[in-house]
Structure 1
């Protein structure tokens, strides 16, 4: 069995398990029903091929996970303080940041992590230009804005180190070239919003 067959079998087992858990008991009928529903879902709603275009670097991923935990803890404390502190509500705003991430999959992962950080929410993604528009809870000072951009840059660097190192990255057969966006073509004036 090839890799794709193993993946499909794993998805079928997972769907069957979910079906059994939803019914609440293990029986032959539930297992057969789960297999039937799983096959039906896989035939009618097939998963798209996910382009894997680089190698995974475990040490960089470990650093990324650690950094995400630190950012989530720091941001949670900041949001909690903003909620209980005396005074007017914080100044909020939408900030944009351009990401030099090539793969749509890695871009999606990075956006998911940005959404996990309390006080931030990605509102829009310009996939062609690799620009994200993020609602940030506290942008009342230049220091807070700079901190947001530092966070984005650090996450971007770690995602690239984890999944898209230039020397190992090769477009997959399903990769769509983006003639509009070339991260190396950014001029300093284009990066004025990037500290």
Structure 2
């Protein structure tokens, strides 16, 4: 019984996605969605994931505020560079150390970094623990490196376990 209850959110999510894909709701689509969800869960059982996720609300709010501010300032900077230099805008690839060994924390940091304009993770060297970050008109590479390290620390504060916190 508890196994079924643990799978209920996934079941409901699959039915919801089915209905969203069809773009309407009627009894036939709901029944078909239920059958598809049961079939998917029976054919592809999903084991529970223990991620060690410990969200810290205050740090999470700070991360969200930082991301919004970074999105706005990055968009303005990129827009200004394009208007000012046109196609002559330069970029650089900068190596930045990865602060965590936890895959989902590294992925979260890489995705959040690539979210805004102006910077993007182009490669991740897991063995060497290095992000290779493309930065549009970087100016001082040390500043870009510090920005990326700062974002990683914010992600670790917001989501990481205490042993992951590099502070």
- TM-score (norm. length: structure 1): 0.74
The 3 A distance-change label for structure 1 pair 87 and 11 is closer
Aligned equivalents of 1:104, 1:64: Cα separation in 2: 19
> Paired residue for 2:157?
161
Taking the aligned partners of 1:118 and 1:125, their CA distance within structure 2 comes to 19
Give a deviation string over 1:15-47, Cα, whole Å, max 9, x none: 112212333332222111101212223344445
Superposition CA RMSD, Å: 2.4
Alignment gaps of 5+ in structure 1: 170-182, 184-195
Matches within 5 A, 1:123-138: 123-138=122-137
Q: Which runs of 5+ in 2 are unaligned?
A: none
The answer for the alignment partner of 1:10 in structure 2 is 9
Give the distance between the partners of 1:38 and 1:92, measured in 2 at CA. 46
> How many aligned positions are there?
165
Write the mapping of 1:1-195 to structure 2, written as runs, cut at 5 A. 2=2, 5-47=4-46, 49-86=48-85, 89-139=88-138, 141-142=139-140, 145-167=141-163
Distance in 1 separating the partners of 2:127 and 2:47: 20
Report the structure, 1 or 2, having the larger helix content: 2
Rounded to whole Å, the distance in 2 between the matches of 1:7 and 1:118 is 39
TM-score (norm 2): 0.85
